[in-house]
Amino acid sequence: MENVIVFVEVSKNEQEIILALIDEKYHAQIHFFEQCINANNAELASQATLLCTFIHSCIDENTLLKLPHLKAIITRSTGSDHIDIEACKKRNIAVANVPSYGQNTVAEYTFTLILALARRIKPMIERLCRGEFNRDGLKGFDLFGKTIGVIGTGKIGSHVVLIARGFGMEVLCYARQEDPDIVKLPHVKYVSLETLLSKSDIVTLHVPANPSTFHLINKSNISLMKSSAMLINTARGNVVETEAIVEQLSLKNLQGGVGLDTFESEDIWIEEKYLKNDTLSAQDLQKAMLVFSTLRSSNVILSPHNAYNTQEALERIIAISIENINSFLQRGVFITPL
């Protein structure tokens, strides 16, 4: 059987970029779908030998059962928690990701959220939209001299450290493995998670989603944070327990604000069709509603998993994904395998 390449979750603009990058001899075998894929609509890609997906698809056991010809999956993301890697291994399906495309992109967005919260941008804009022009209640705070806790010092986290030092911040880091280059920086040191949470004015997460990071920030340890602290998550939703944030806000803690680009059950919000999905659990719906309840707070900013979303980063993502596809078609191996 000849290779059939199926791209899902691709916009019209992305389709044009893909066709410009991939070898023309494969054009007749390429199929594009703008929607994401899961067990309910996997028939769209039933002939696929290669599947190129993004984070809102769900490639689990049930989905794979409907993709009998599949040889390889390429996810246009660093994270792979939307793919059942073990199920793929059992079926000899190779999986690749894009391990490095936006360390500066996501790090910059992290500081977008930090600065927006520190300078009270959300209530300011809401007030101006109502025609009110005054500064009452809009007093912010400087980043200079503050302590930021960076959880995870991989490619993105290490870039956050560099930006923080540019602001003149003290930096505490927590990671499974220390980065020797980070250790050499002045005013930067690795500490335990408990110390980081208790000493930081701002805590920001940059870890992958896996069993060891599930609810890394939870009801037990979030209480260690200063009442004036700020919490930022541009990593993955389930590394922070939703109920923990809601509880702390109800106790008037996290006064520095909460910035979430990703959160538990975010797909219910991001993809309208999920609202019509009768397989949603009551727990998922509850978590989504809990997050929704935080929007009433003037010091909470939510965004729709948008940290990666710049023209430059998207072009890098597609370019690396196409390199993976070309490599697999030509040599049977990926350049960035999982």
Q: Which residue has the tokens 């880091």?
A: 173
Question: What average pLDDT does range 6-23 have in this prediction?
Answer: 91
The residue among 58, 112, 56, 140 whose CA lies nearest residue 261 is 112
Instruction: Tell me what pLDDT residue 13 has.
Output: 87
Contact 101, 317 (CB under 8 A): yes
Take residue 95 and report the two structure tokens written for it. 């999986």
The residue from 56, 236, 241, 264 that is catalytic is 236
Q: How many whole angstroms separate alpha carbon 309 and alpha carbon 106?
A: 9
Which region among 10-14, 65-69, 181-185 has the lowest average model confidence (pLDDT)? Answer: 10-14
**pLDDT at 268 (0 to 100):** 63
* Residue 266 is a catalytic residue: yes
Mean pLDDT for the stretch of residues 33-48: 93
Confidence of residue 279 (pLDDT cuts 50, 70, 90): low
Architecture, CATH, for domain 5-101+311-331: 3-Layer(aba) Sandwich (3.40)
Annotated catalytic residue 61: no
Q: Where in the chain is the domain with CATH 3.40.50.720?
A: 5-101+311-331, 103-302
**Looking at 159, 206, 305, 323, which residue is catalytic?**
305
Give CA–CA dist 19/14, Å, rounded. Answer: 9
Say if residue 317's pLDDT is above 60.
Answer: yes
Looking at the predicted structure, is the pLDDT value of residue 49 above 90? yes
Residue of 14, 241, 264, 266 marked catalytic: 266
Report whether pLDDT(293) > 80.
no
pLDDT at 171: 98
pLDDT tens per residue, range 226-270: 999 999 999 999 999 999 999 999 999 999 999 999 988 776 665
Q: Which CATH class is domain 103-302?
A: alpha beta
**Is position 305 annotated as part of the catalytic site?**
yes
